[in-house]
Amino acid sequence: MYDIIIVGAGPAGLTAAIYARRAGKSVLVLEKDTFGGQVTYSPKLENYPGFQEISGNELAQKMLEQALALGAEIDMDTVTEVMDGEVKTVVGEAGSYEAKSVIIAAGARHRRLHLPNEEELIGNGISFCAVCDGAFYKGQHVAVIGGGNTALQEILLLSEVCSKVTVVQNLAFLTGEAKMIQAVEAKDNIEVIYSTVVTAYEGERSLKAICLKNTETNEDSRLEVDGIFLAIGTVPENGAYRKVASISGQGYIEADEHCMTGTPGVFVAGDCRTKTYRQVATAIADGAAAALNACRYLDE
């Protein structure tokens, strides 16, 4: 029996664990994939207070070490259901866990294009993380799908190791920060194709090329590349929490900055909740708020 079970070990979940442990609560953090969450895929953070520059992986490692040093228990399991009651039951693929309160900090996963053969080509020409896989394409030609801040980070990193980076953007403009757009435009080995979408992948065991369509002219084209990086955002996976939380039409848990769900004793934090901005700083703020409110609930 724990005071608080936290689902997810990203910045929101680890911050919640730190705050809860400092309040003297027993804490179990369950993570299904990567300790640190999506931030571990960010090669460089330049807008996180206290650090002029730090990699997402390094920041996540510091958070993890702090939570462990304070006595939080952290385990690997995929949560499939959360059940309400005087005692909350968190059901995972490896077992069931009980707690007096729960904080859902499940984050979100990388979006796919959902084209034929996509899952088979992930790791065989399709990647999501330039810092993880960029070195495999040294001196080669890659494409990046997307034009937001995440995509621009990937593009700039890949441009340092690849001979050419082709950006495929579905809109007529890039949507990231102006400073990052200027940095992309200043690179000689970056080409941006606007108003274009990917319609198919070529290659069975490894990616050979991508098929493109211009959304303004309907013109079809083909681009031979050594690999592509999908940087089109993330999507929440909140199906396991439908019994204890209201889910929006976009799949996010409905909650405001107080991080309270409609179920007493169940809280939510980070990218999996409805919010305007999904940044590391806002995830950490959520984690603190959720933990403080969970502690208040336990102490009442």
Would you name the residues annotated as active-site residues?
Answer: 129, 132-133
Token digits of residue 231? 């940087």
How far does the chain reach from its first CA to its final CA, in angstroms?
Answer: 18
- Residue 193 to residue 268: CA distance in whole angstroms: 39
Contact by Cβ (8 Å): 113, 278: no
CA dihedral (237, 17, 273, 41) in degrees, to 10, reads -60
Residue for token digits 């994939």?
33
Q: Which amino acid is at 284?
A: I
Contact by Cβ (8 Å): 75, 26: no
Contact by Cβ (8 Å): 92, 30: yes
SS3 107: coil
3-state secondary structure 203-259: CCCCCCEEEEEECCCCCEEEEECCEEEECCCEEECCHHHCCCCCECCCCCECCCCCC
- Residue 246 to residue 261: CA distance in whole angstroms: 7
- Residue 279 to residue 263: CA distance in whole angstroms: 26
Burial class (CB in 10 A: 0-12, 13-18, 19+), 188: exposed
Contact by Cβ (8 Å): 214, 221: yes
- Residue 13 to residue 273: CA distance in whole angstroms: 13
